[in-house]
């Protein structure tokens, strides 16, 4: 017997933008995003999409979010790499670059997800040419970036944390 497949989408609209940002996510992610906007949300809600992006949406800048579902047969395949796209409030075009540093990409999402950006709103990102971009998180509508790049940065962060928290005796036998 063939089962129906249900696809879930999170469609976000921000003030000053002409078009919505729509993301296909799994059911658990859609539920988590809905809980974030229904409760007392922090400034940002970070989540992964089914097509291989990591996304951070600024809940303070959000006009509405529409949770959609659709019965469908094919499943969206993840794309190996997405360049970064940063949508700013009041701007029609997003700022795009291709950051090569996985640890920096992970740190950016970690700061947004843990609300560090509340007290330190200026964030940095190095572009594909090694040039530094500094931006104010308070003016971001949404950030999209390669989930594979962010995951690589998380793995490196975990590896470094494990090295730093090695044996209490400094590694001596």
Residues 44/56, Cβ–Cβ less than 8 Å:
yes
Tell me the average pLDDT of the chain: 84
Q: Which residues, 6 or more positions from 48, have their beta carbon under 8 angstroms from its beta carbon?
A: 25, 29, 54, 55, 147
Residue 173 has pLDDT above 60, yes or no: no
Please, which residues bridge with residue 9 across strands? 24, 68
Least trusted range by pLDDT, from 26-30, 53-57, 66-70, 80-84: 80-84
Dist CA 13 CA 47 (whole Å): 16
**How many CA atoms are closer than 13 Å to the CA of 48, on its beta-carbon side?**
14
pTM: 0.74
Residue 47 CA to its chain's centroid (Å): 5
Nearest to 142 by CA among 23, 7, 28: 23
**At 9, which helix (H) or strand (E)?**
strand 6-14
Question: CA dist 69 to 5, 164, 170, Å?
Answer: 10, 44, 53
User: What mean pLDDT comes out for the span 102-130?
Assistant: 85
Dist CA 37 CA 28 (whole Å): 15
- When pLDDT is cut at 50, 70 and 90, the band that residue 4 belongs to is low
Residues 144/84, Cβ–Cβ less than 8 Å:
yes
Least trusted range by pLDDT, from 6-20, 62-76, 90-104: 62-76
Least trusted range by pLDDT, from 28-42, 67-81, 120-134: 67-81
Q: pLDDT digits over 12-39, tens only?
A: 998 888 888 999 999 999 999 998 888 6
Q: Which residues, 6 or more positions from 61, have their beta carbon under 8 angstroms from its beta carbon?
A: 14, 15, 89, 140, 141
């Amino acid at each position: 017997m063939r089962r129906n497949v249900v696809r879930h989408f999170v469609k976000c609209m921000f003030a000053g933008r002409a078009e919505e940002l729509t993301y296909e996510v799994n059911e658990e992610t859609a539920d988590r995003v809905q809980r974030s906007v229904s409760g007392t949300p922090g400034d940002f809600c970070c989540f992964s999409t089914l097509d291989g992006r990591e996304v951070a949406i600024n809940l303070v800048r959000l006009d509405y979010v529409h949770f959609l579902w659709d019965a469908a047969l094919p499943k969206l395949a993840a794309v190996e790499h997405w360049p970064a796209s940063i949508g700013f409030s009041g701007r029609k075009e997003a700022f795009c670059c291709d950051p090569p540093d996985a640890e920096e990409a992970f740190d950016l999402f970690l700061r947004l997800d843990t609300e560090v950006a509340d007290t330190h709103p200026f964030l940095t990102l190095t572009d594909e040419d090694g040039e530094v971009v500094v931006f104010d998180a308070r003016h971001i509508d949404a950030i999209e970036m390669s989930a594979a790049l962010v995951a690589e940065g998380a793995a490196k962060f975990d590896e470094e944390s494990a090295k730093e928290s090695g044996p209490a005796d400094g590694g001596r036998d």
